[in-house]
Amino acid sequence: MNHWLSLTDFLGSEVMMNQCDVDGLSFSFPENWKIARYDDWAFYRNQFSRMWNEIKAVDMIALDLSLTFWLIEVKDYRINRRTKPTSLPDEVARKVYDTLAAILPAKINAASAEEKQMATDISSAQKIRVVLHLEQPRQDSKLFRRAIDPADVQQKIRKLLHPVDAHPKVVEKRDMRGLAWSVD
């Protein structure tokens, strides 16, 4: 289900949902942000991803009051370890790239008025930010290790996505690095 706010909500009219659940984590955004579970968009699922195989999507997108467009990917490895053959930075970069490529066509061709409006609003963004929310076991154990170094992943994502966001963030619930939203 898409939970989102429109730019008209920024101007003081009724505010809708400002929470989004991804992989068992509940993200709470400031009430005047526009947010959506992008990988659930009908445009992405029924139109854009069918152009060819391997088109990917970030989990969430958001637009804040300063017209910063946030692309948020969520990975929770606290119980299940990563088994994908591609590297995590490559996967995140691909999802960001594919999501950005879908925004203009969604603005013009989305069947859902909500999705079309959000894509239109995002097209007015003044800045783009990328966030990888990466949950791992709090401490190493033989069964579940903290095998991924967040600083290393952040540096690799920065190299891959520098033209999009020169300062992407890799965060977790206990270290949100000053972001405006919280996670439970």
Asked if residue 27 is part of any domain, the answer here is: no
Domain limits for position 77: 35-175
Residue 15: the pLDDT is: 39
* Beta carbons of 137 and 95 less than 8 angstroms apart: no
Asked if residue 55 is part of any domain, the answer here is: yes
Residue 1: the pLDDT is: 42
Six-digit token string for 144: 């579940």
Asked if residue 119 is part of any domain, the answer here is: yes
Residue 5: the pLDDT is: 45
Three-state secondary structure call for residue 131:
strand
The identity of residue 141, as a single letter, is: S
Q: How many domains does the chain have?
A: 1
* Beta carbons of 61 and 122 less than 8 angstroms apart: yes
* Strands ordered across the beta sheet of 19-22: 19-22, 25-28, 182-183
Asked if residue 166 is part of any domain, the answer here is: yes
Residue 61: the pLDDT is: 98
What is each CA distance from 16 to 3, 40, 76, in whole angstroms?
A: 8, 18, 27
Query: Any idea which residue has 């968009």 for tokens?
Result: 41
| CATH, residue 43 | 3.40.91
Asked if residue 18 is part of any domain, the answer here is: no
Q: Which of 165, 26, 51 is nearest to 106 (CA)?
A: 51
Asked if residue 131 is part of any domain, the answer here is: yes
* Beta carbons of 17 and 4 less than 8 angstroms apart: yes
* Beta carbons of 35 and 60 less than 8 angstroms apart: yes
How crowded is the C-beta side of 79, counted as CA atoms within 13 Å?
2
- Report how far residue 7's alpha carbon sits from residue 13's, in angstroms, rounded to the nearest whole number: 10
Per-residue pLDDT of the chain (184 residues; tens, 9 = 90+): 444 444 444 434 343 448 999 989 999 999 999 999 999 999 999 999 999 999 999 999 999 999 999 999 999 988 777 767 579 999 999 999 999 999 999 999 999 999 999 999 999 999 999 999 999 987 666 555 567 889 999 999 999 999 999 999 999 999 999 999 999 9
Residue 6: the pLDDT is: 45
Residue 53: the pLDDT is: 92
Three-state secondary structure call for residue 72:
strand
- Report how far residue 23's alpha carbon sits from residue 18's, in angstroms, rounded to the nearest whole number: 17
pTM metric for this prediction:
0.86
Asked if residue 26 is part of any domain, the answer here is: no
